[in-house]
Amino acid sequence: MSFLNRRKLLALGAGTVAAATAGTSAQAAPSEVDASRAPSPSRLADSLPGSFTSSYVQTNGVRLHYVAGGSGAPVILLHGWPQTWWEYRKVMPDLATKYRVIAVDLRGGGESSKPQSGYDKKTMAADIAGLITALGYTKAHVVGHDIGAMVAYSLTVNKPQAVDKLVMLDVAHPNSGYYDFRMLPAPGAPFHPWWFAFNQVDILPERLVAGRSRFLVDWMFDYLLVNHAAISSFDRAIFAQAYATSDAIRGGNGWYKAFGQDIIDNGTYGQIATPTLGLACPAFYPGLAATLSTQATNLQLAQIADTGHYFVDEQPAAVVQQLKAFLG
């Protein structure tokens, strides 16, 4: 976020968020965000360079929140966990010079509905298909990171007519290999996704994390970032506020609880012919490349260097360059 736009947020009353959340060291106990004083979605959208607006659409039984700007071919941006549409704040202004950029809060996340069910990726994909139609398009480019990548892939498999080009960032759709993740990692294991199991536990995560989401957000980002400063204290406060309530935690955890059904669905899917780009950080690239090579017949693959899992935040210029080259 530029200095001028940061000042714009402060002038709109968001200064209390930045002040309350200053400092993200592991040694300090981070403050939680006061949701009643946090920036509204419209204020966050207005803080971005260019002209972006915050809006809602009712589709597939849920109310989806999205932020849109720019003109041209539509590009749908789907976020991961524990983030919201704000994940794409650094790339949206540049992309909007060429495309109609639409960053969506997934079902269960951000300002979108948080129903009791419907978190399997096929249903969430139907949400996005409905959004595309509701906005007046027949198809769109779809970019997904993390959980968003799973939804984007499911959309492409189940409604290929709705997707012009597909971009998968770092993560593939759940498959039977997920059952091989170890609860107890071997000594020196480079990656231990303990939250895959934790987020499938009923009730307990809501009780432990509600009101203390900043601890979780900081741990996740610091564990999976190379440059911890790439997601600022202000940004962390925004994400923490989005996951601060029991309903929000339940909604985000619903994405993980549905993995069993997603794996069953994945077993019924064939290959996709939609032009597909797989982008990944060095640690995740081998797994993503191996999986997508069996799923997509029209595939390009690339690594984003010097970054961790949250590379949209760490290396936005490289992401924009890859997206523009691929989407055309």
CB atoms within 10 A of CB 11: 11
Q: What is the pLDDT along the chain (328 residues), one digit of tens a residue?
A: 443 454 445 444 344 343 333 333 333 445 454 444 678 999 999 999 999 999 999 999 999 999 999 999 999 999 999 999 999 999 999 999 999 999 999 999 999 999 999 999 999 999 999 999 999 999 999 999 999 999 999 999 999 999 999 999 999 999 999 999 988 988 988 889 999 999 999 999 999 999 999 999 999 999 999 999 999 999 999 999 999 999 999 999 999 999 999 999 999 999 999 999 999 999 999 999 999 999 999 999 999 999 999 999 999 999 999 999 999 9
| Rounded alpha-carbon distances, angstroms, from residue 18 to 33, 38, 75 | 9, 9, 30
Cβ proximity of 149 and 171 under 8 Å: yes
* Tokens standing for residue 40: 């509204």
Buried b / exposed e over 280-296, threshold 16 CB at 10 Å, is bbebbbeebbebbeebb
Task: Identify the bridge partners of residue 302 per DSSP, sorted by sequence position.
Answer: 279
pLDDT (0 to 100) of residue 15: 42
pTM of the model: 0.91
The one-character DSSP state at 270 is -
Domains annotated for the chain, with CATH where assigned, are 3-327 (3.40.50.1820)
The one-character DSSP state at 40 is P
- Distance CA(21)–CA(33), nearest Å, equals 7
pLDDT (0 to 100) of residue 4: 43
Query: Rounded to 5 degrees, what are φ and ψ at 107?
Result: -45, 130
Rounded to 10 deg, the angle between the 121-134 and 147-158 helix axes is 70
